Amino acid sequence: MIDLQLTDKTHDEARQGEALVIEPPRSRNGRKLYIESYGCQMNFADSEIVASILFDQGFETTGDYQEADVVFINTCSIRENAEQRVRNRLSQFGAVKRRNPKLIVGVLGCMAERLKSKFLEEEKLVDVVVGPDAYRDLPQLIGQVEEGQKAINVLLSREETYADISPVRLNGNGITAFISIMRGCDNMCSFCVVPFTRGRERSRDPESVVAEARELVSQGYKEVTLLGQNVDSYKWNGIVNFAQLLEMVALVSPDLRVRFSTSHPKDITDEVLYTIARHDNICNYIHLPVQSGNTRILELMNRTYTREWYMNRIDAIRTIIPDCAISTDIIAGFCTETEEEHQDTLSMMDYVRYDYGFMFCYSERPGTLAARKLTDDVPEEVKKRRLSEILVKQQESSLFRLQQFVGKTVRVLVEGPSKKSEKDLCGRNDQNAMVVFPATDGIEAGQYVYVQVDRCTSATLLGTALI
């Protein structure tokens, strides 16, 4: 099984196993937490909640698991290979634990929720298993382990949003941050394990979202990404909808960029599109996963929209926000998918010409509707071949989209040195394109600069800052 995705390194499994570190605070108890996160942005945001809860218990974080008292791994279950990576990592932590039996090893997040107590039986060196809604219980669970017991809490909640917990921003650049606006998912896409691992959908109090955005602005942050499994179904007390929340956050500061993810094609409204169009600081970028371009497959996936409906939403975006970037997720080789149906996905890609894409081979997940009702009958080689055709098309499309910026000037929020060279700076434009340009005196991370774009690759715009 291979997973391939292009361009946006912050999405889904593109971010794997990053250790998160905060500066040691003033009065600590000397205990050290090492936390590593896998999977989606929501998981990374959750690790910041976990760090905050343990910070209150006197823990400081470390980037070196060898010196930690507690090692947590915040896991993802979305595809089988994501779980395999976590298991490999756990066996490395297990080796450290053999040398230092006092080390507490914990599994958090989706995989903890999926496997529950089975984890403690399968992975003997794991001490604590905690699902995504039980992080407030961590201090108590750690105490239990210190008394020599194994500890587990995988209860899902209908209310928990961690609204009152101020996340400790981990390993961030001090410029861009995530804000969770809701948790869980009530859609029952047949391929997806998330409704089982993250539970029922619940929205967070808009006042607490706005307060968090304000606090970030006061700390010098310049961009927030509002996170939810399906942001368009955000609803607070039956009154505030996602478009209204988006506007409330946009009004916090004209200098604060607002992004959001993920939108669902069945739910994204024109009201949301008009709100984006109305506010300069709401970025013109929508992640609108199509999954498949064929109506029969969409029905089997239980996506509750047709090919035509999706195209209509794309048309609405193009009309209301003409320069909006659009990205997608696509699954290759879903149950019973024929060659013609795969061609429908390719032709959908031609229709939309996505700016970015995240593409995966279908991976059956135990307990899902598809695992129970459908046959995973597309041979692995066929899935891989279809995936590579999708990938090639996306690469062409990304290049096409980025070429539109060549010769133009784009406004970039500088995030810091580029990954490849300290001599270059990088940041994103409004449409989420990564822009790299030579560092110049007077330009610092956190500033907005105009960059004249000279050329591009299929993933990056290259140019010179105008000062």
Q: Which residue ranges make up the site for ligand 5AD (CB under 6 A)?
A: 12, 78-79, 191-192, 289, 291, 329, 331, 360, 362-363, 365
Residues numbered 71 to 130 that lie near ligand SF4 (CB under 6 A) are 76-78, 109-110
Task: Give me the least distance between CB of 191 and ligand 5AD, in Å please.
Answer: 4
Q: Which of 38, 41, 11, 81 is nearest to 355 (CA)?
A: 11
Is the Cβ of residue 376 or residue 396 nearer to ligand 5AD in the bound state? 376
Task: Give me the least distance between CB of 194 and ligand 5AD, in Å please.
Answer: 7
Query: Cβ-closest residue to ligand 5AD?
Result: 329
The site that binds ligand SF4 (CB under 6 A) totals a number of residues, namely: 14
Q: Which of 168, 154, 196, 161 is nearest to 35 (CA)?
A: 168
Is the Cβ of residue 217 or residue 369 nearer to ligand 5AD in the bound state? 369
Lay out the site mask for ligand SF4 across 198-227 (x = CB under 6 A, - = otherwise).
x-----------------------------
Is the Cβ of residue 284 or residue 363 nearer to ligand 5AD in the bound state? 363
52, 197, 233, 394: which one binds ligand SF4 (CB under 6 A): 197
Task: Give me the least distance between CB of 20 and ligand 5AD, in Å please.
Answer: 21
Task: Give me the least distance between CB of 40 and ligand SF4, in Å please.
Answer: 3
Query: Cβ-closest residue to ligand SF4?
Result: 39
Task: Give me the least distance between CB of 109 and ligand SF4, in Å please.
Answer: 6
Name which of ligand 5AD, ligand SF4, none residue 198 binds, using a CB cut-off of 5 to 8 Å depending on partner kind. Answer: ligand SF4
Residues numbered 60 to 79 that lie near ligand SF4 (CB under 6 A) are 76-78
Name which of ligand SF4, ligand 5AD, none residue 362 binds, using a CB cut-off of 5 to 8 Å depending on partner kind. Answer: ligand 5AD
Task: Give me the least distance between CB of 365 and ligand SF4, in Å please.
Answer: 9
Residues numbered 28 to 67 that lie near ligand SF4 (CB under 6 A) are 39-40, 42-43
Task: Give me the least distance between CB of 369 and ligand 5AD, in Å please.
Answer: 11
Task: Give me the least distance between CB of 98 and ligand 5AD, in Å please.
Answer: 34
Interface residue list for ligand SF4 (CB under 6 A) = 12, 39-40, 42-43, 76-78, 109-110, 193-194, 197-198
